[in-house]
Structure 1
Amino acid sequence: MWFRTDERAPDFYIEGVQIHAGLKMVSVKELDRNELLFSLPMELRESLAARLEPLSLSDGQIFREIGARSTDVIFPLSCIVSMDYVLKDSFSAEFLIVGSEGVIGLESLFDQRPGPVRMVALQGGTALRIDKDELRRRFLDVQAIQQSVFQYTFSQIRLMAQTITCNCRHRLDQRMCRWILSVQDRSPSRVIKITHEMMSHFLGVRREAVTNTVGRLQRDGMVEYSRGYLTVLNRDMLESEACECYQAGLEVVSLRRMNGQYPRRSCEQATLETTCWNRSTPVMRRR
């Protein structure tokens, strides 16, 4: 089922940053690409599809500056967003990665600012947006949405707590392996477009430390890095090198798995849709 409101959606702005919207047409099937939207009842997704708008983010695009108030709630489809906490001296570190399993901007539903947080498109791609007032007015009192929002928020709190503990306790090489795996889990490709400078900001360490650690992973045959592109060569080795936080994070990254809900699809389709790679072969499987 398709919904169309006009010929083309105009470009719009999120806190002064121009975002390119495509054709203003969203299918109910398109909502299935986002875990949180997928968990909702069909009739509710059909109603949401009529009000969601597609948007596109480019690699490395900063689409929400520090402390900016959001006017939209965004559901990533193929893009991956890094949420970074920034101190007054400009030091920053990533505390959360959000992909198609989640949503961005929930704080706007309660008229809250996110604080000194910068949001960057770690991987460009598509997403769906809805005006916060529209979502709050029409849907926030719906029990199914309330339940999904609260459960998702709780899962993100768990992930943030784990990230804080991990950054304090584990070695950089362990954390980097966890980070690489977490990004790839949200992407259909084993190639990550990333510079050492960007990775140093996300991990909260000096660039030289990132360069040395990536070099060791490359010498050990886990990854290959060339001109801003990091390719995963051996996922099994990365998993064995990563700290315990990676496996623990898998338990909360998916709403469907966390809630014990099974997809409205065949088992064969579910098997193909996992965010986990089988060794170094780009074929996904469900854990």
Structure 2
Amino acid sequence: MAHIQQSGVRNRLLKVMTGEDFARLQSHLEPVDLLVDQTLIEANIRTEYLYFLESGLGSITADGTNGRVEIGIIGREGVVGASHVLLGSDRVPYRHFVQMADHALSIRAGIVSAAVDESPTLRKLLLRYVLTEMIQVRQTAIVNATFEIEVRLARWLLMCHDRAEGDELLLKHEFLSMMLGVRRSGVTLAMQQLEGAGRIRARRGRITVLDRELLEEMANGSYGTPEAEYARLIEGA
């Protein structure tokens, strides 16, 4: 297989690595196409591969007494499976799956662990990314405890929009209530409110962002903190 070239990658973490750090991973990166609802990391099962997403959207979910709830999302800004592997665990009690069809570069978890042990600069970068994941999860907890569903939905759509190729989000409707941890009827009403205000257009399995600025207004300050921290910690903004 021809080596993946750093100049051609779309994953934001791979793009900001030093040339030396990228070279540590380069020959081990394998292009893969991922399907909607495909499991990338199964809960409580040894993690064999990490995935640097190049497009699409990955979701981290937890099972509870009231069903499955999303606790994090990952796009081309990150790497699926990084947090627990880099912190020394070979498994995690959460399922990671594909929510919007992905293209990714897969790599064995052990290769990444070994590279991090060899390179302080790579360790610093990837641990900073782990911190941004933690910030996102904590912000989600704050938002879910503080805001009404319409605000939470607006924030979630903005996060998906950040990771999409354009304004159209291909999202299965049955995922929506799971993502927000509410009943499906509540999601339907919130979606109708956003659509009625001209912020989005919703069709079965397809949501189009019509006015991002209005959607950000609807998010009422709940969106932006993890995104700003990613820019500060990873891209030096």
Give your verdict on TM over 0.5. yes
Query: Which of 71, 91, 115 does residue 113 from structure 1 map onto?
Result: 91
> Runs of 5+ in structure 2 lacking a partner?
none
Shift of 1:30: 3.2
SS in structure 1 opposite 2:55?
coil
CA 1:26–1:154 in structure 2 vs 1: closer, same or farther (change >3 Å)? same
What is the distance in 1 between the residues matched to 2:42 and 2:172? Answer: 20
User: How far off its partner does 1:161 sit?
Assistant: 0.9
Deviation of 1:210 after TM superposition, in Å, equals 0.7
Identify the residue that residue 234 of structure 1 maps to in structure 2.
211
- Which residue does the alignment assign to 1:68? 45
Measure the CA separation in 1 of the matches of 2:91 and 2:164: 29
- Which among 147, 156, 159 is matched to residue 182 of structure 1? 159
Q: Distance in 1 between matches of 2:212 and 2:235?
A: 27
Residue 30 (str. 1) matches residue 8 (str. 2): yes
Shift of 1:259: 4.4
Q: Please state if 1:192 is matched with 2:172.
A: no
Letter in 2 for 1:51: H
- Matched with 1:9 is none
Q: Does the CA-based 8 Å contact 2:25-2:115 persist in structure 1?
A: no
Residue 58 of structure 2 is aligned to residue 95 of structure 1: no
Q: In structure 1, what is the equivalent of residue 131 of structure 2?
A: 154
CA positional deviation for 1:192: 0.8
**In structure 1, how many angstroms separate the alpha carbons of the residues matched to 2:43 and 2:95?**
5
The residue that corresponds to 2:223 in the other structure is 246
Name the residue aligned to 1:217: 194
Q: Secondary structure at the match of 1:80?
A: strand
Does the residue aligned with 2:40 lie in a helix, a strand or coil? strand
Following superposition of structure 1 onto structure 2, how do residues 238-277 of structure 1 map, counting pairs within 5 Å?
238-254=215-231, 257-259=232-234, 261=236
Matched pairs, number: 235
The amino acid that maps onto 1:247 is G
Partner Cα separation in structure 2 for residue 51 and residue 62 of structure 1: 21
- Larger helix fraction of residues: 2
- Contact between 1:71 and 1:108, CA under 8 Å: does it hold in 2? no
What CA deviation, in whole Å up to 9, does each residue of 1:165-209 have, x standing for no partner? 111111100000000010001112111111332110111100011
Superimposed CA distance per residue, residues 81-116 of structure 1 (whole angstroms, 9 cap, x where no aligned partner): 0111112x361211111111111222235233211x
Runs of 4+ with deviation above 6 angstroms: none
TM-score, normalised to structure 1's length? 0.76
The aligned residue for residue 277 of structure 1 is: none
Q: Distance in 2 between matches of 1:137 and 1:64?
A: 20
What is the RMSD of the two structures over their aligned residues, measured on CA atoms? Answer: 1.8
Shift of 1:69: 2.1
In structure 2, the residue corresponding to 1:69 is in which secondary structure? coil
The alpha-carbon distance between structure 1 residues 215 and 260, as it changes in their structure 2 partners (threshold 3 A), is closer
TM-score by length of 2: 0.91
Compared CA separation, residues 240 and 191, structure 1 to 2 (3 A): same
Inter-partner Cα distance in structure 2 for 1:37 and 1:140: 17
Distance 2:39 2:176 in 1: 15
Identity across matched positions, percent: 26
